[in-house]
Structure 1
Amino acid sequence: MLQAVYSLRYYLEKRGFYVSSRLADRLGMRAKSVRLFFIYVSFATLGVGFALYLTMAFLLKLKDLVNTKRTSVFDL
């Protein structure tokens, strides 16, 4: 089991980062810069998603407060 994890890790390290290397070669940049760009973008989108989630939660709570169930005139 442990050997399978190590072989998977080796495979991903050997060939998984090749995408960044190929993109860096195509753009004429260093692979380290491309990898850092992907890391920063992933953090940025995570922050945007979290902020969007909080905004939607606030708006739904506000909608629930405004649209409370009103009693009918006939319930008097």
Structure 2
Amino acid sequence: MEKLMVFLEQRSFGVCSYIGERLGISISKIRLFFIYSSFLAVGFPVIFYLLAGIVLDIRDYIKRTRNRLWDF
């Protein structure tokens, strides 16, 4: 079970940790919220999670390329 948890944390987008840091809430509580709400809302939070992950990846990519441009 520990290996599965480590694998998922390494491969996830980091949406829960980002939200937790911004709002000051425990990451495990946010993950539980996404799990429970996905059962209640028929998968809508999963769509939100994927979209937020894509936005965060694009944001990190822009930050990295912006830093490279100013290195010259």
| TM-score calculated relative to the size of structure 2 | 0.47
| TM-score calculated relative to the size of structure 1 | 0.45
Q: Which has the larger radius of gyration?
A: 1
Larger RCO (CA within 8 A; separation ≥ 6) = 2
